[in-house]
């Protein structure tokens, strides 16, 4: 099961965003600006409008550090393609994988014959890995037989702008199921800090008002009906 927790974050993110949003046009100094105490609704309205108008640079002043567990290396390989972020991943070179498990896709879980094949291969692979290690083969070499589906953990740091961009792509229902599930959990984690910021994290069709894919899903249609 995918688990996402926030390890660290920008303190008072809405205050930071509001201050950044006003700075470009505000003529006074920061001391004067900090004395302004707008309502939360005013902050949200200003930030939402700037995001709507495409002025996303203010979002770069807020960042989150996430602890992510229970994803496969299939998904971590996709994740690190988002390069405006920082990642530290569990090392198969230095950490033993003997207690790690395969992430099994739902399509295989629903098929008893396919599930048996997957479980048999998992057992044989992990037994072979353990045997190589007991023979004195370094873990960095024994890992060559490990499958991409093996679970891993990773620390990910992203600012809010990159989260906005990444979620625009990965929350699309046409994304692969695991990375879609991951960013649904990322959005939930952000929501524990600020429901408003979480509300900005949506599939790109909801930002654009149209689907950029050749085979659109029902998300935009449902949103327009709501």
Give me the catalytic one of 3, 48, 73, 170. 170
- Is 73 in the active site? no
The answer to whether the annotation marks 93 as part of a ligand binding site is: yes
**78 marked ligand binding residue:** yes
Residue 81 among known ligand-binding residues: yes
79 is in an annotated binding site: yes
Residue 153 in marked binding region: no
Backbone angles phi, psi at 103, to 5 degrees: -80, 125
Q: Is 41 annotated as a binding residue?
A: no
Q: Is 160 annotated as a binding residue?
A: yes
25 among annotated binding-site residues? no
Instruction: Determine whether the annotation assigns residue 48 to a binding site.
Output: no
- Phi, psi of 7, deg, nearest 5: -85, -30
CA distance 102 to 148: 8
End-to-end CA distance of the chain: 31
Was 90 annotated as part of a binding site? Answer: yes
Find out whether 143 is annotated in a ligand binding site.
yes
In the annotated binding site for dUMP, the residues are: 78-81, 89-93, 143, 170
**Residue positions annotated with a catalytic role:** 170
* Binding positions: 57, 78-83, 89-93, 143, 159-161, 165, 170
Q: Per the annotation, where are the binding residues for FAD?
A: 57, 81-83, 89, 159-161, 165
């Amino acid at each position: 099961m995918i688990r996402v927790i926030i390890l660290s974050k920008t303190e008072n993110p809405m205050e930071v965003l509001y201050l950044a949003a006003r700075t470009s046009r505000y003529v006074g100094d920061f001391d004067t600006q900090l004395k302004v105490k707008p309502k939360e609704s005013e902050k949200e309205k200003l930030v939402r409008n700037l995001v709507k108008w495409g002025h996303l640079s203010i979002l770069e002043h807020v960042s989150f550090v996430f602890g992510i567990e229970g994803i496969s290396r299939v998904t971590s390989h996709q994740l690190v393609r988002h390069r405006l972020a920082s990642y530290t991943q569990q090392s198969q070179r230095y950490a033993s994988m003997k207690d790690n498990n395969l992430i099994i896709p739902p399509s295989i879980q629903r098929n008893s014959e396919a599930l048996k094949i997957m479980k048999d291969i998992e057992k044989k692979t992990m037994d072979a890995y353990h045997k190589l290690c007991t023979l004195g083969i370094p873990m960095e070499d024994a890992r060559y037989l490990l499958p991409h589906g093996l679970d891993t953990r990773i620390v990910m740091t992203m600012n809010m702008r990159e989260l906005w961009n990444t979620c625009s792509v990965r929350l699309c229902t046409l994304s692969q199921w695991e990375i879609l599930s991951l960013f649904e959990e990322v959005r939930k984690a952000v929501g524990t800090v600020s429901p408003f910021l979480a509300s900005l994290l949506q599939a790109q069709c909801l930002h654009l008002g149209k689907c950029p894919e050749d085979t659109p899903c029902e998300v935009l249609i449902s949103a327009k009906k709501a």
